[in-house]
Amino acid sequence: MTSTLKPHYSAVVIGGGQAGLSASHYLKKHGIDHVVFEKKTVAHKWKDERWDAFCLVTPNWQCQLPDHPYDGDDPHGFMVKDEIIAYVDRFIKRVNAPVLEGTAVISVEKNGDLFKVETSAGTVTADSVILATSLYSRPAIPRAAERLPEEIVQLHTVDYRNPNQLPEGAVVVVGSGQSGCQIAEDLHLAGRKVHMVTGNAPRCARFYRGRDVVDWLSDVGQYDITVEHDGMTKKKHDTNHYLTGRDGGRDIDLRKFALEGMSLYGRMVGVSGGRMIFEPNLKANLDGADRVYNGINALIDRHIAEKSIDAPPASVYTPLWEPENEPEELDLKAEDVTSVIWATGFHPDWSYVGLPIFDGTGYPVQRRGVTGIDGVYVLGLPWLWTWGSGRFLAVGKDAEHVVDHLAGYLEAGQPALRQAASR
């Protein structure tokens, strides 16, 4: 449903991804008049910012958008890109949100009891605002990129599609989070020479003791743990574990790739004179990822023992390969490197938010999406409340909570009426 601009709304939702649409779903249920401003097109990231071989890392059963759970015949499979887009498109249709696409919010400010929302299509006022623009707004590319030789093709993961898009020659993938590892695998499987620059991302087994690790972790209660549990508050800045859902799901083991010809390096510290320079921490990065892998499996072992579950035997991952040395630089020309893929994450873009809601790290201060400013809410961020808050699994539950709170706020405060009365 495309909306036309009105001068005032009870609620303005900023961002038309799955979080903004989930908010709209519940606002409609409450009968709250609202608009969703989306600067591009709804849920466009699944279409525009994923590579061709992309598939979910989370199993299909974890797709739990509100009133739109996965209902296909492969709950333990991993939807590929087109299937994800179809799943999201059905959600878009179901919600039928009052959305204004191609409308960027330029600023949100408090104006008495109301909020003034300036957009590329005009200015409106609102009694409440829901910020649903995610932490994945702008590709994060280190400034060292500026010092790469001009002839090298550089892409961020959002622009990577497939190996054929890159010129012949070797590829450097910088960053070993989920995207970096999956893209490195994509290139490796296509027979490309890959130089993989690792960071401190953890990894996780796909299957362990007869089941998907996600299924075990769900039974253990891992996805119900909230950010308020001890030790969880810093989780929101953690890098995701690397593993894949490709071809029915499997581990990603960089040591195995090394045995097959992939070159691995420690963290990149810079580029100088046509060389990429690395910290000597490759071994530490690989060991750290495996420690987490084994730690998660040990958690599952404890659960199986406590519940006396009949399951295949326990095992501990032992490294298939160890680096002989710590490579400290890569001569790009000598190694025929023709492209570099920056798998270095994203920056949020809260520049439109003229409200004092952020902590020192740029993350909004909030409790399950409810900020300290009456009428201001956030949605869809990793660990907003639980692990699933920034994913298909739990964004809907958070949206329901946020909209229930917002509805209560509108009912109790009636800010627009108060403002009118005071004029």
Q: Which is nearer to ligand FAD, 133 or 371 (CB)?
A: 133
Question: Least separation, in Å, of the C-beta of 36 and ligand FAD?
Answer: 9
Instruction: Please identify, using beta-carbon distances, which residue of 193 and 236 lies nearer to ligand FAD.
Output: 236
Least gap, CB of 412 to ligand FAD (angstroms): 28
Q: Smallest distance, Å, CB 77 to ligand FAD?
A: 12
- For tokens 């796909």, what's the residue? 206
Beta bridge partners of 211: 208
For ligand FAD, which is the closer residue by CB, 39 or 267?
A: 39
CA distance 399 to 128: 14
Q: Which residues touch 301 (CB under 8 Å, ≥6 apart)?
A: 209, 314
Closest CA to 38 of 87, 81, 95: 95
Min separation Cβ 123 and ligand FAD, Å = 14
Q: Which residues bind ligand FAD (CB under 6 A)?
A: 14-20, 37-40, 44-45, 56-58, 104-105, 132-134, 136-137, 179, 352, 380, 390-393
Identity at 411, one-letter amino acid code: E
Q: Are 11 and 130 in contact (CB under 8 A)?
A: yes
Give yes or no for a contact between 256 and 320, defined as CB atoms under 8 angstroms apart: yes
Closer to ligand FAD by CB, 102 or 273: give it.
102
Q: Which residue is nearest to ligand FAD (CB)?
A: 17
Q: For residues 409 and 31, give the distance between their C-alpha atoms in angstroms, rounded to a whole number.
A: 14
Query: Shortest Cβ distance from residue 83 to ligand FAD (Å)?
Result: 12
State the nearest-atom distance from the C-beta of 321 to ligand FAD, in Å.
27
What would the two tokens of residue 306 be?
A: 């406590």
Residue number, 179 or 337, with CB nearest to ligand FAD: 179
User: Is 50 or 255 the residue whose CB approaches ligand FAD more closely?
Assistant: 50
- State phi, psi for 184 to the nearest 5 degrees: -60, -40
User: How far apart are CB 56 and ligand FAD at their closest, in Å?
Assistant: 4
- Which of 182, 180, 198 is closest to 190 using CA atoms? 182
Q: Could you tell me which residues are beta bridge partners of residue 399? A: none
Q: How far apart are CA 44 and CA 20, in angstroms?
A: 12
Residues ≥6 apart with Cβ < 8 Å to 296: 204, 205, 208, 213, 217, 241
Query: Which residue, 163 or 245, has its beta carbon nearer to ligand FAD?
Result: 245
- Residue number, 91 or 136, with CB nearest to ligand FAD: 136
Half-sphere exposure of 166 (CA within 13 A, CB side): 32
Closer to ligand FAD at the Cβ: 15 or 202? 15
Least distance CB 21 / ligand FAD (angstroms): 7
User: How does DSSP assign 312-329, residue by residue?
Assistant: SPP-----S---SS---E
Report, in Å, the least distance between residue 113 CB and ligand FAD.
23
Helix axes of 81-95 and 18-30: crossing angle, nearest 10 degrees: 20
